[in-house]
């Protein structure tokens, strides 16, 4: 199947799909453009800041190389990441591996509320069957392992994988149904420790630091664990329009300029575009600061632009965003000393001094930021007991402790002094020339 033109739909209410516009293959097959249809221009909303409601062909920003092929604006978040692409290559074997093929073969249950169809008159996505159930996770893990190893699978296994296997992300995962809701199940991928169980322990530890996290379950399998993560872009049968931090920051960058992909820039965006009701935008920015500090101290250096997301609140009315719950948070166990996301004046350096250096971008005074750091340190100090209570083995804890409780990170926890960030004394009254 050669796909040069498809159609984008909005599935906020899956029972009443709304036609958005036309998708075209552009940039010599490296990108996909979007042109809104008349009805969406009249009654819809801008899917991201770089896709305003204007009757033009919106193309992906910047010069596209083979390694950076993408779709325009928020449409890019509707395609799968590396694991999803691998499943599509394995199951569907498209003759041409363009962004358009990946958009179509990702099927109906993709991230957010956008859908891709072959028709502009009816929502006709790539056909798929019912999602696997919780009691099928063991067999699903075996199918996923075969795909990861490039081994042949049966037709029955192919159908199971087609139903739940093309969700995004870099590591093996699949969608399953648990008690009528969709959960993403992440599988063991040959890591030197029980990564699914460690991720469950890390996310539940982050919750103790005042960080909203995606709900997780550790699923025991034969000889290992899987991790089930309840989808936060679904609620009460509806789908929530969602964009990645990378998409949001690229959309906010001035034309012709590269975006600053980092925590301070995302915090400024949240304070500008976040939901202002009851101070939600300020609370989200402050929470993002805690997430940054937590990631630094727990040695989660895989905090790239796709591992942060924004959820649209009543997108068709005012287009405001909330910070999505934290996900994909676990120790990288690398000790590399820098994050994927910019933290402050020292770029990506994994230090508390760097985190504190631009605290004003998060709407925090140095004194307030220091209090957040102290809160996170108190939680991180108890990580070993929490991981043990979650079932993480002594051997895995000992391996992680080499980094988390190593000289660099433990030294920062012990050396941090909130008093050095106290509010300055008020200036005396009477004018600047008072003696």
Question: Starting from the edge strand earliest in sequence, which strands make up the sheet with 181-186, in order?
Answer: 173-178, 181-186, 224-230, 216-221
pLDDT at site 371: 97
258-297: pLDDT as tens digits? 899 999 999 999 999 998 888 999 999 999 999 999 999 9
Q: How big is the CA angle at 126 (ends 125 and 130), to the nearest 5 degrees?
A: 100
Look at residue 378 and tell me whether its pLDDT is greater than 90: yes
Structural domain boundaries in the chain: 5-117, 128-187, 235-421
pLDDT at site 433: 35
**Do the beta carbons of residue 242 and residue 77 sit within 8 Å?**
yes
* Residue given tokens 């249809």 in the structure block: 37
CA–CA distance, 132 with 146 (Å, rounded to integer): 17
What's the whole-number mean pLDDT along residues 369-374? 98
Selection from 74, 94, 175 nearest residue 128 by Cα: 175
pLDDT at site 163: 59
pLDDT at site 154: 83
**Do the beta carbons of residue 334 and residue 403 sit within 8 Å?**
yes
Pick one of 3.40.50.11900, 1.10.1070.20, 1.20.120.1200, 1.10.150.20 as the CATH number of 235-421: 1.10.1070.20
315-336: pLDDT as tens digits? 777 679 999 999 999 999 888 8
Whole-Å CA distances, 7 to 13, 15, 54, 72, 116: 17, 18, 17, 13, 6
What's the whole-number mean pLDDT along residues 360-365? 97
The strand pairing partners of 178, in sequence order, are 181
pTM (predicted TM-score): 0.93
381-407: pLDDT as tens digits? 999 999 999 999 999 999 999 999 999
For strands 216-221 and 224-230, give the pairing: antiparallel
pLDDT at site 431: 43
**Do the beta carbons of residue 333 and residue 418 sit within 8 Å?**
no
């Amino acid at each position: 199947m050669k796909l040069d033109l498809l159609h984008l739909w909005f599935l906020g209410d899956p029972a009443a799909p709304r036609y958005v516009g036309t998708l075209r293959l552009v940039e010599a097959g490296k990108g996909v453009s979007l042109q809104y249809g008349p009805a969406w221009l009249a009654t819809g909303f801008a899917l991201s800041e770089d896709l305003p409601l204007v009757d033009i062909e919106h193309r992906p920003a910047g010069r596209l190389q083979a390694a950076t092929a993408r779709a325009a604006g928020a449409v890019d978040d509707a395609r799968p990441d590396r694991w999803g692409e691998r499943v599509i290559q394995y199951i569907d074997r498209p003759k041409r591996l363009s962004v358009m093929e990946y958009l179509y073969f990702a099927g109906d249950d993709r991230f957010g509320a956008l859908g891709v169809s072959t028709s502009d008159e009816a929502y006709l996505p790539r056909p798929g069957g019912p999602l696997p159930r919780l009691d099928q996770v063991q067999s699903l893990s075996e199918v996923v392992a075969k795909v990861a190893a490039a081994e042949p699978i049966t037709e029955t296994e192919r159908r199971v994988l087609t139903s739940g296997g093309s969700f995004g992300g870099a590591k093996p995962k699949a969608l399953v149904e648990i008690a009528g809701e969709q959960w993403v199940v992440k599988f063991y991928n040959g890591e030197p420790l029980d990564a699914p169980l460690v991720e469950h322990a890390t996310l539940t530890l982050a919750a103790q630091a005042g960080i909203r996290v995606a709900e997780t379950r550790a699923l025991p399998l034969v000889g290992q664990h899987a991790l089930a993560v309840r989808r936060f872009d679904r609620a009460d049968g509806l789908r929530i329009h969602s964009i990645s931090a990378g998409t949001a920051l690229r959309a906010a960058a001035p034309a012709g300029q590269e975006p600053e992909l980092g925590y301070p820039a995302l915090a400024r965006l949240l304070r500008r575009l976040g939901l202002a009701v009851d101070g939600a935008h300020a609370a989200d920015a402050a929470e993002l600061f805690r997430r940054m500090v937590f990631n630094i101290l727990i040695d989660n250096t895989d905090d790239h632009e796709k591992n942060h997301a924004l959820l649209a609140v009543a997108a068709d009315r005012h287009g405001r965003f909330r910070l999505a719950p934290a996900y994909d948070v676990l120790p990288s166990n690398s000790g590399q000393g820098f994050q994927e996301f910019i933290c402050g004046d020292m770029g990506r350096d994994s230090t508390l001094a760097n985190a504190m250096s631009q605290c004003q971008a998060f709407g925090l005074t140095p004194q307030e930021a220091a209090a957040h750091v102290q809160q996170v340190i108190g939680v991180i100090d108890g990580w070993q007991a929490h991981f043990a209570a979650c079932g993480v083995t002594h051997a895995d804890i000992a391996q992680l402790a080499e980094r988390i409780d190593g000289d660099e990170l433990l030294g920062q926890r012990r050396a941090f002094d909130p008093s050095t960030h106290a509010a300055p004394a008020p200036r005396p009254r009477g004018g600047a020339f008072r003696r």
